Amino acid sequence: MRIARIEARPLSIPLREPFVISSGRVDTTRGALVSARIVDTGTGELHRGLGEAAALPAVTGVDQGDLLRAIGRANGALAGQDVEGHSDLRALLDGVFDDPVSRAGVEAALLDAWARQERLPVHALLGSERNGGTPFQVTTDVTLPIADPAHVGELASGWQQAGFSSLKVKVGRDLDDDARTLEHIARRCPTVEVRLDANGALAARDAMTLISIVRSLHLRLGCFEQPCAADDLEGMAHVTLLAGAPVVADESVQTIDDLFAVVHKKAATAVNLKIMKHGGPVEAARIGRAARRLGLKIMVGAMVETRLGLAASLHLARSLGGVDLVDLDTSLLLRWDPFAGGYQQRGAELTLLEGNGVGVHEAAMA
């Protein structure tokens, strides 16, 4: 393929309610919609692909304006370039981008266009194996932000009634509030599985206190994501040893070397793959395969993303032959989603729609 043009425009979708985590707060998505046009150098046909670059400043360190500037500049270096395969694409994008989020959005858009040219789904370009045509289906959790404990209990009960049996509970800002939140959840949804996520805010002993509270409330603990700071691998290892549930490294694993360090220190038993964090679907898939070889469980998650980004993440999960934990819910937290296609959602069940590319298009505005 030859890259003809890369463009980006703001993707700013308001959330139903503020998304508050221990490290920050979001009211509106701060992303960029990337559109990539390529030419099939064999036939001369034009193909267009879409990708989402999603900034979450508290986590990604970059904001929407940074993405738009970086992608705008990148067009100058990318337009007119011929790409023969994965190693060409990697070298080209590595030479152009400093931040993983802009790179991820552009790589996702190029993979979408390239897959359309090849009349393949994106997961095939990521190395998926054929599965005999069985629909690829996963069950996602849904995320509860940090908020007034009684309100979080109400949200939990609403999601449970909508078919979600796994709730990701954001914790780590105030231990007393976290305890009250868990009490409200236990009272309203005693059978639910909770997945704690502290986004790196806790000391190991405080993380263990929260685990004891979950146990004393007779809630099922599905996993504990990033209890301690990204570089506190000792604390993470302490929790891993004693948690009795998977400990998931998220902020601790950006690169494949980070993964090796986490495994070496026994600092987690699972890793959360995110296309935005690893600089694109290709590297996310590579880290996922390495994690599996090393015996880790795999979660696939996202920043606060629309259906476009979540569909790309489902292709990532499909390319790995399925994953252990799925956290692809953020489209449900938006007031509206400007995209359609990619997958079908019924309650917590997501079914990938097989087709060319990532399969997502811009929805007609009402």
Give min distance, CB of 225 to Mg ion, in A. 5
Quote the Cα angle for 172-178-183, to 5°: 155
Residues 155-194 within binding reach of Mg ion (CB under 5 A): none
Give min distance, CB of 261 to Mg ion, in A. 18
Q: 102 or 199, CB closer to Mg ion?
A: 199
Residue 305 interacts with Mg ion (CB under 5 A): yes or no = no
* 261 C-beta neighbours (distance < 10 Å), count: 16
Give min distance, CB of 148 to Mg ion, in A. 22
**Amino acid (1-letter code) at residue 302:** A
Nearest to 233 by CA among 254, 245, 246, 249: 249
**Amino acid (1-letter code) at residue 126:** L
Looking at 66, 112, 206, 250, which residue binds Mg ion (CB under 5 A)? Answer: 250
Quote the Cα angle for 233-167-238, to 5°: 20
- Left (φ > 0), alpha (ψ -120 to 50) or beta: where does 341 sit? left
Contact 250, 143 (CB under 8 A): no
Edge-to-edge strands, sheet with 349-352? 137-139, 349-352, 343-346
Residues 306-325 within binding reach of Mg ion (CB under 5 A): none
Give min distance, CB of 37 to Mg ion, in A. 34
Task: Determine the interface stretch with Mg ion among 235-243, 247-255, 335-343, 357-365 (rule: CB under 5 A).
Answer: 247-255
Residue 206 interacts with Mg ion (CB under 5 A): yes or no = no
* Phi, psi for 214 (deg, rounded to 5): -55, -45
Q: 50 or 304, CB closer to Mg ion?
A: 304
Task: Determine the interface stretch with Mg ion among 3-11, 93-101, 144-152, 222-230 (rule: CB under 5 A).
Answer: 222-230
- The residue written with tokens 């959330």 in the block is 15
Task: Determine the interface stretch with Mg ion among 220-228, 232-240, 308-316, 335-343 (rule: CB under 5 A).
Answer: 220-228
Q: 52 or 197, CB closer to Mg ion?
A: 197
Task: Determine the interface stretch with Mg ion among 8-16, 102-110, 217-225, 273-281 (rule: CB under 5 A).
Answer: 217-225
Q: How many residues bind Mg ion (CB under 5 A)?
A: 3
Q: 185 or 325, CB closer to Mg ion?
A: 325
Give min distance, CB of 197 to Mg ion, in A. 5
In angstroms, the Cα distances linking 80 to 2, 37, 85, 159, 175 are 6, 11, 15, 48, 54
Give min distance, CB of 83 to Mg ion, in A. 32
Q: 66 or 197, CB closer to Mg ion?
A: 197
The sign of the torsion formed by the CA atoms of 122, 125, 129, 132 equals positive
Residues 78-137 within binding reach of Mg ion (CB under 5 A): none
Could you list the beta-strand ranges (E) of the chain. Answer: 2-11, 14-21, 24-28, 30-39, 46-55, 137-139, 142-144, 166-170, 193-197, 220-225, 247-249, 270-273, 297-300, 325-326, 339-341, 343-346, 349-352, 360-362
Residue 197 interacts with Mg ion (CB under 5 A): yes or no = yes
Identify the burial level of 299 via C-beta atoms within 10 angstroms of its C-beta, where 0-12 means exposed, 13-18 middle and 19 or more buried: buried
Taking CB atoms, the residue at the shortest distance from Mg ion is: 250
Contact 53, 71 (CB under 8 A): yes
Q: 113 or 270, CB closer to Mg ion?
A: 270
Give min distance, CB of 358 to Mg ion, in A. 23
State the residues that interact with Mg ion by CB under 5 A.
197, 225, 250
